[in-house]
Structure 1
């Protein structure tokens, strides 16, 4: 950040992130795909001569970063002015002293990979063989952790760590005619000991069987019962339309209607 300020920035924010994730995907309780990934990156938010630019890189060598920052400053000067884009008022920054949000499972690194696979196998077994119409059962276990650090030129400095775990299952069955309905279920948690580990495969099967016999209906006005899992699809267009960016770009069906 200091290097950016010395090379033409009037204000700056730097964000660092390091994280990893693992997933085990099974088909009919047999291992199908194993994936493990990790990443580290730095993001720059530069305020230069009334202009604002954001830049990100995963090449964290000091010499390369100096060149990256200089190029970012110069590139920002080519952008249109944005006088409304400034760092937040420093008086509103979090000053510390609040309770730990407990977003990180302290046992995250101690979880045995064999136990992860066993969890995915167990939820697959909940559905396999339970109905003769079943075509396939896919199940998966996933987890990840991340560390974030952020600092601004007007006084904020903070960091956070978090972890997550998830179990999911999807089931496909033979329906009427050529129909092959499928559905899924999942559970997630910040802590492994609080993750719901039973019923995921069973729920996925139940949701799939409910789709058998679905038929198209004529267009019209109907009273509609919406599955809570799909409620976001109904609300997303309205929420997207009231984003400040959508209104500013005149890309909203609610423009001049609020």
Structure 2
């Protein structure tokens, strides 16, 4: 038994002794290392290690959650007593409760998920050297005035156990490098970025390429102006297109549906994307950051279609929201040590198209290619959409010049029904969404 498993067992035992009818416990241990380089100097070097514990107790339809970073026997006992006292005063909720024993996950092949890099943790010196390689590659490009480069590593492990008999855990590793490059001065200064992250260090691309890409993107932004106001096609670059599908997933979240606070509240079984498009969740993809064999309530995860051939086929549910809606959980519970479960998706794929991004640029004629967005005004009930954007103006099917300080607007229900997808989604991402073209969007600029 691991140390984390022992901690969850101790928490459950303390909860039962304190008077809990049922309970679940989560223990998380992690190590992280972060390096930041700015203007050629080491700006930040941070390392953290720690273990956190969380306990949820349930008594007669009431629940309470408590957490701590102290794992002593005294703290565990006190934590359980406080949780039980809090639960007795909490409002009653007929939908809260653990999974039945017949529902819980019991067998999984953790090795097949490949969530943990077996290699050694990078040293601070090694991570700094990689970040400096990113920075130097960007600074070597003519026209770049400043670069901020970062490197990060983390290793985390968790164990979840409950009084219904569930007990399981897994670990994760993450390696990442990034750069933000700046060009120009004063009000003419522009910036852009590049970043890469992987579960395994062996899968990371070279630091030089990351720095060069950030520099090239920043230089392409030089001389940006406001575009004209009007109605135009908008092409969401692959770097930002996933946000559109993120809005769809948020609207299909069972918590929002149960509150009636979603523009998809009456859309189950209806067309929400063009025919031929599906949104697939697959929590079992190996070497991917959001993969998991079981959810935050111990239910076995599985591949499922959220949208199939354009039709919304189901909500994203945990146990409580499923019970509210009279449906079974989709094994999508997520939780932290200090909070109860709530619905959340993992790995997402949108059906790709047959065309390249350049093909879509040629097809759109005149309009906006969006490469970055800031701020947002999204009405969760109506789907009205408005976001600040920057990118490039497309004229007669070719990129003409960079643009900024504009706003794009529409309604998500209408927008998503008009998407045309490219084929440029990156395979290693948890959410794989290609560049998306939408015609007839409102653009506010000069």
Structure 2 length normalisation: TM-score?
0.54
Deviates more, 1:40-49 or 1:28-37: 28-37
Offset at 1:89? 2.8
User: Aligned match of 2:195 in 160, 182, 186?
Assistant: 186
User: Aligned match of 1:93 in 84, 95, 104?
Assistant: 104
2: CA distance, partners of 1:136 / 1:99: 43
Offset at 1:49? 1.1
Q: Partner of 1:44 in structure 2?
A: 55
CA contact (8 A) 1:41 1:59 kept: yes
User: Aligned match of 2:142 in 109, 116, 131?
Assistant: 131
Which structure 2 segments of 5+ residues have no match? 1-11, 269-446
Q: Partner of 1:147 in structure 2?
A: 157
1: CA distance, partners of 2:176 / 2:127: 10
Q: Partner of 2:168 in structure 1?
A: 158
User: Aligned match of 2:180 in 161, 170, 184?
Assistant: 170
Tell me whether 1:102 sits opposite 2:114 in the alignment: yes
Offset at 1:77? 1.9
2: CA distance, partners of 1:99 / 1:162: 11
Q: Partner of 1:70 in structure 2?
A: 81
Offset at 1:256? 4.1
Offset at 1:83? 1.5
Offset at 1:82? 1.5
**1:178 is paired with a residue of what secondary structure?**
helix
Offset at 1:94? 2.4
**1:77 is paired with a residue of what secondary structure?**
helix
Deviations along 1:23-76, one digit per CA (max 9) or x if unpaired, are 111113321111111221111121111112222211222112212211111111
Q: Partner of 2:238 in structure 1?
A: 228
2: CA distance, partners of 1:6 / 1:74: 13
User: Aligned match of 1:31 in 12, 21, 42?
Assistant: 42
**2:192 is paired with a residue of what secondary structure?**
strand
1: CA distance, partners of 2:229 / 2:81: 59
Offset at 1:120? 0.8
CA contact (8 A) 2:56 2:83 kept: no
Offset at 1:172? 0.9
CA RMSD of aligned residues (A): 1.9
Offset at 1:257? 4.8
Q: Partner of 1:82 in structure 2?
A: 93
**2:149 is paired with a residue of what secondary structure?**
strand
2: CA distance, partners of 1:183 / 1:61: 47
CA contact (8 A) 1:148 1:159 kept: yes
Q: Partner of 2:210 in structure 1?
A: 200
Deviates more, 1:190-199 or 1:136-145: 190-199
Q: What is the correspondence of 1:108-127 to structure 2 with a 5 Å cutoff? A: 108-109=120-121, 111-127=122-138
Deviates more, 1:34-43 or 1:112-121: 112-121
1: CA distance, partners of 2:172 / 2:196: 17
2: CA distance, partners of 1:92 / 1:65: 28
2: CA distance, partners of 1:97 / 1:246: 31
User: Aligned match of 2:262 in 248, 252, 255?
Assistant: 252
Deviates more, 1:244-253 or 1:164-173: 244-253
Offset at 1:160? 0.8
